[in-house]
Amino acid sequence: MLKSCVAWLTPLHSNVRDNHQRRMYFHLLHGRLPQSRKICSHARKLKATKHKNQLEGVKHAGRYHPPWFSVAPMMEFTDNHYRTLARIISKHSWLYTEMVVAETIVHQQHNLDRFLAFPSEQHPIVLQLGGSNLDNLSKAAELANNYGYDEINLNCGCPSGKVAGHGCFGVRLMLDPKFVGEAMSAIAAKCDVPVSVKCRIGLDDHDSYNELCEFIYTVASLSPTKHFIIHARKALLNGITPAENRKIPPLKYEYYFGLLRDFPELQFTLNGGITSIGQVNAARKQGAHGVMLGRAAYHKYELSVVFDKIAWSPQYACLGSGFPLCSKML
Ligand SMILES: Cc1cc2nc3c(=O)[nH]c(=O)nc-3n(C[C@H](O)[C@H](O)[C@H](O)COP(=O)(O)O)c2cc1C
């Protein structure tokens, strides 16, 4: 849709075209496309759906507090035991579960506590779902709703062969933003809490900033999703291991800061390669809504203690090198 809407802008100089395009995302998301623009029928449909979803989103509005500091979902790491320890270390961080595949929840209905129960001290806690079957994602959200998670998240970033390869979910979902929008809408309809998406900045050759914008725009238009966690590197589905996929593709924080600028009504959490208090403070000073730590939260657990202090004690907020996290902007 977006491509056809902006196709007529192509002869313009690329900077000018990019500005037009950004404004277009903004206007489309707000339902305020300038009258002089020709809106294709697809865009009209999106506007109508958007209005419906905005109304649905209202029921979540009162409880919507995206986290400023969170511990990332990590398979075989952020299990119940780790999260209990993490909560003792850090009183305020939001804790994410490991990814739980929707089919596991649906097929283990007699055994749900094993996958979904957690002690109440772990609040605020987010359940991360994985999957690509709309019915199962919706059913899983419904079953999980009884457990009282604070947010339900969909994994659109995992590059592992089992998940993005045979499973056709994880980061592969970024190729089908419309499906993700519908899935998020289905999940949101079955739970009483906000929903969020965790994604990469792209995958393989689908790594342009515009493609990322199209993904965010489509998902936010089709569903009440207001919060996106951006792992600021793309995924490579060329057979490298998940661990290599967290090292080899370069970090592009400029994509994250571009999203902050271009989607001012959405909330974005920055993830990937953050390992120090200086980086967290630099990200906040540059306007980041939230920061998520993965490996560093696990391996340098003392950081979580300090992050609590940064959040609540002004004297810690000045720690850091004074350099911005991202000096190159789009
Ligand atoms: C052992 C391990 C398991 C992970 N499992 C998941 C997962 O289940 N879901 C997910 O979205 N990301 C998963 N990730 C990715 C992290 O959530 C995070 O995006 C990534 O590690 C980059 O952040 P970092 O540089 O702070 O570690 C995993 C990472 C690690 C190291």
Instruction: Show me where the domains of the chain are located.
Output: 69-316
| Residue 272 CA, ligand 1 centroid: distance in Å | 9
Residue 276: per-residue pLDDT: 85
Mean pLDDT estimate for the chain: 82
Question: Is pLDDT of 13 > 50?
Answer: no
For residues 17-39, average pLDDT:
44
Residue 120: per-residue pLDDT: 96
For residues 167-181, average pLDDT:
95
158 is known as an active-site residue: yes
For residues 150-167, average pLDDT:
90
Query: Could you tell which of 69, 70, 71, 74 is best to mutate to test the pocket of ligand 1, judged by most ligand atoms within 8 Å of the CB?
Result: 74
Question: Is pLDDT of 46 > 60?
Answer: no
128 CB less than 6 Å from ligand 1?
yes
72 CB less than 6 Å from ligand 1?
yes
Residue 162: per-residue pLDDT: 81
Higher-confidence residue of 115 and 69: namely 115
Is the CATH number of domain 69-316 3.30.300.180?
Answer: no
Residue 63: per-residue pLDDT: 45
For residues 60-78, average pLDDT:
76
Instruction: Choose the weakest-confidence range: 40-49, 251-260, 292-301.
Output: 40-49
For residues 315-323, average pLDDT:
67
Question: How big, in percent rounded to 5, are the helix, strand and coil portions of the chain?
Answer: 50, 15, 35
Q: Are 180 and 187 in contact (CB under 8 A)?
A: no
Residue 319: per-residue pLDDT: 66
pLDDT digits (tens, 9 = 90+) for 204-235: 999 999 999 999 999 999 999 999 999 999 99
Ligand 1 atom 19, closest CA: 231
Element (DSSP H or E) covering residue 129 = strand 125-130
180 CB less than 6 Å from ligand 1?
no
Percent of the chain predicted with pLDDT > 70: 75
DSSP-assigned letters across all residues of 272-286: SS--SHHHHHHHHHT
170 CB less than 6 Å from ligand 1?
no
Question: Is pLDDT of 330 > 60?
Answer: yes
Q: Are 124 and 67 in contact (CB under 8 A)?
A: yes
Q: How far is CA 221 from CA 44, 191, 330, in A?
A: 11, 19, 23
Q: Which atom of ligand 1 is least distant from the CA of 295?
A: 27
pLDDT digits (tens, 9 = 90+) for 93-110: 899 999 999 999 999 999
The pTM for the full model equals 0.83
Label residue 52 by pLDDT band (50, 70, 90): very low
Residue 246: per-residue pLDDT: 97
